[in-house]
């Protein structure tokens, strides 16, 4: 990778001045270098299993000169943070030559970044929502749920073939009666009948179709 690093900081700043039509007589190169350094320090680079940052890894030239690849140069020249900084940096003045044109070109890059970021956020949100819907489907319509539902249907079908539907109102009434008298003494015949039915559910609630009661 080091063999491809032949773009110096000076050349990068020259590219910035030319691309955005800066008034070179006003440009403070030191400020731009500091901004590039801050940007590079946030860009992780892994070499030979060691993770560092772009600024440290670019220190490959003579006299500790920082050198970059053409791809890294392009990334820096069009970096969102750099463009927003250059739009309002301290060395720019109202009397700057080509100020409107420079602002237009910087804003064009910033707007492109915003559009790309918005698209990434929209696509990410769409993936999150699709994943949530998928999880809901898996949660409520799993294979096990389908098998359980099928078994219940089959059991009910077989039951109704030979027995009358269970009197759910009577079953509920009996269950509520049991709860209401739990732990108390009682002598009411109706209560005794309710408790008997619960203790003998098949005989009490499962009435064969051919039997009239």
How is the chain split into domains, by residue range?
A: 2-112, 144-205
pLDDT at 1: 46
**CA 201 to CA 61: how far, in whole Å?**
91
Residue 116, both tokens: 């790309």
**CA 67 to CA 76: how far, in whole Å?**
12
Longest distance between any two alpha carbons in the chain, whole Å: 108
H/E stretch holding 135: helix 99-140
pTM equals 0.55
Structure confidence by residue, pLDDT tens digits, 123-171: 888 888 887 777 665 555 677 777 888 888 888 888 888 888 999 999 9
pLDDT at 190: 85
Instruction: Break the chain down into helix, strand, coil percent, rounded to 5.
Output: 65, 10, 25
Regions in the chain scoring below 50 on pLDDT: 1-2, 213
pLDDT at 52: 85
Cβ proximity of 24 and 98 under 8 Å: no
pLDDT at 2: 47
Cα torsion for 67, 71, 74, 76, to the nearest 10°?
-60
Q: Where are the beta strands (DSSP E) in 57-144?
A: 67-68
Q: Where are the beta strands (DSSP E) in the chain?
A: 7-8, 44-47, 50-53, 67-68
pLDDT at 89: 87
Whole-Å CA distances, 35 to 96, 104, 111, 167:
21, 21, 20, 80
Residue-wise over 144-154: b if at least 16 C-beta within 10 A, else e? eeeeeeeeeee
């Amino acid at each position: 990778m080091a063999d491809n690093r032949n773009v110096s900081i000076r050349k990068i700043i020259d590219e910035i001045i030319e691309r955005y039509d800066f008034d070179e007589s006003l440009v403070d190169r030191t400020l731009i270098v500091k901004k590039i350094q801050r940007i590079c320090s946030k860009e992780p680079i892994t070499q030979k299993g060691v993770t560092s940052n772009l600024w440290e890894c670019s220190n490959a030239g003579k006299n500790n000169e920082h050198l970059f690849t053409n791809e890294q140069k392009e990334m820096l020249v069009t970096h969102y943070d750099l463009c927003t900084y250059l739009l309002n940096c301290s060395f720019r003045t109202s009397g700057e030559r080509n100020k409107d044109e420079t602002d237009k070109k910087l804003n064009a890059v910033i707007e492109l970044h915003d559009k790309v970021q918005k698209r990434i956020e929209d696509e990410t949100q769409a993936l999150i929502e699709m994943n949530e819907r998928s999880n809901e489907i898996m949660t409520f319509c799993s294979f096990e749920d389908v098998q359980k539902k099928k078994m219940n249907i089959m059991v009910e079908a077989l039951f109704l073939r030979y027995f009358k539907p269970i009197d759910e109102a009577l079953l509920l009434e009996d269950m509520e009666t049991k709860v209401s008298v739990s732990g108390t003494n009682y002598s009411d015949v109706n209560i005794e009948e309710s408790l008997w039915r619960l203790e003998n559910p098949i005989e009490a609630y499962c009435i064969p179709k051919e039997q009239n009661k």
